[in-house]
Amino acid sequence: MPIDAVVNIVISGLFTGLVYGLMALGLSVIYGVVRIVNFAHGELMAVGMYAAVFAFVMAGIDPLWMLVPLAVAFFGIGYGLQRALVNPFIGRPEHSQFILLLAVALVLVNLLLVFFGPDARGVLVSYSLDSYQIGPLLIDKVRLICAAVALITCAILFAIFRYLSFGKAIRACADNLLGAQVVGLNVKHLYALTFGLGTACVGIAGCLMSLLVDVTPGLGPAYTLLAFVIVIIGGLGSMVGALAGGVLIGVSESVAGLLFTPSAKGMVSFALMILVLVFRPQGLFKAR
């Protein structure tokens, strides 16, 4: 196979992996602070995808213009979900938390089925099929834009946790919950903010994904599983790990499709996860 074709495939996998990483970042952030595993993560992303598709179909709004409104809306959804539903389950046995969020996931999937039906829906903007040519390389325009937005979003999230006071407060809760309570931090509010931030990441990821793939109600569980694989590989609770895991999965799936039969590329992510669990069960990066 020509080398430029290989490079094209690797770049394509890298860009897709960055969007996966953004999706998984939300999961990692929530677990890192609240210590709740959001089993409705992929379903929330599917909701984000449908929201973007709906805005496009009804009003012709490009999903890139929906990034900020969806981020705000999903922040609110995440905040409300945590305060109203999840908060009472903190401290309860893990299986109760699992059942709760699984139930939320099932409700979301079936609501999407009721409102939108089972048909695949997508967004075809004027530049959906464009690509840039740089020498022998062909760069998919939409993937490039999505990867750039994913990186910017991650950078904003990092900046929030590093430089803003409430970001530092959230980190304090994650590092030392008792200490945070002792110094008077409103832990419930901070937990809800964290859930909101994680859900906002998912909303943005969903908006970007709507430009890359067609959405069906059944897509949510597949992305929940993918998010889990990524954070387990990257390290549960590690933001850098989530991004790195996403990129690793994106690139490895593309390369595996090249080296083996493309129909088997889906198994590569699970094979990688098994390797990580066996040799480095805490993940590639430590939780921070």
How many angstroms separate the CA atoms of 219 and 121, rounded? 11
- What residues from 59 to 118 belong to the interface with another protein (CB under 8 A)? 113, 117-118
| Binding status of residue 266 toward another protein by CB under 8 A | yes
Q: Render the burial of 160-180: b for 16+ CB within 10 Å, e for the rest.
A: ebeeeeebebbbbbbeeeeeb
Are 221 and 43 in contact by the 8 Å Cβ rule? The answer is: yes
| Least separation in angstroms between CB 51 and another protein | 18
Structure tokens at 276: 């990580």
In the beta sheet, which residues pair with residue 132? 139
How many angstroms separate the CA atoms of 64 and 67, rounded? 5
Helix or strand run (H / E) with residue 138: strand 137-140
Q: Binding another protein by CB under 8 A: which of 102, 111, 125, 138?
A: 138
Q: Binding another protein by CB under 8 A: which of 27, 265, 268, 276?
A: 265
Beta carbon nearer to another protein, 237 or 250: 250
| Binding status of residue 271 toward another protein by CB under 8 A | no
| Least separation in angstroms between CB 84 and another protein | 30
Q: How many residues contact another protein, by CB under 8 A?
A: 37
Would you mind telling me the total number of residues written for the chain in this entry? 288
| Binding status of residue 213 toward another protein by CB under 8 A | yes
Q: How far is CA 168 from CA 28, 128, 164, 173, 185, in A?
A: 17, 39, 6, 9, 11
Structure tokens at 180: 């945070």
Binding mask 223-252 for another protein (x = CB under 8 A): ------------------------------
| Binding status of residue 135 toward another protein by CB under 8 A | no
Q: Is 185 exposed, middle or buried (0-12, 13-18, 19+ CB in 10 A)?
A: middle
Q: Which stretch binds another protein (CB under 8 A): 43-51, 66-74, 217-225, 238-246?
A: 217-225
Structure tokens at 275: 């390797």
| Binding status of residue 179 toward another protein by CB under 8 A | no
Beta carbon nearer to another protein, 68 or 129: 129
| Binding status of residue 2 toward another protein by CB under 8 A | yes
Residues lying near another protein in the complex (CB under 8 A) are found at 1-2, 5, 8-9, 12, 16, 113, 117-120, 122, 124, 128-131, 133, 138, 140, 212-214, 216, 218-219, 222, 253-254, 257-258, 261-263, 265-266
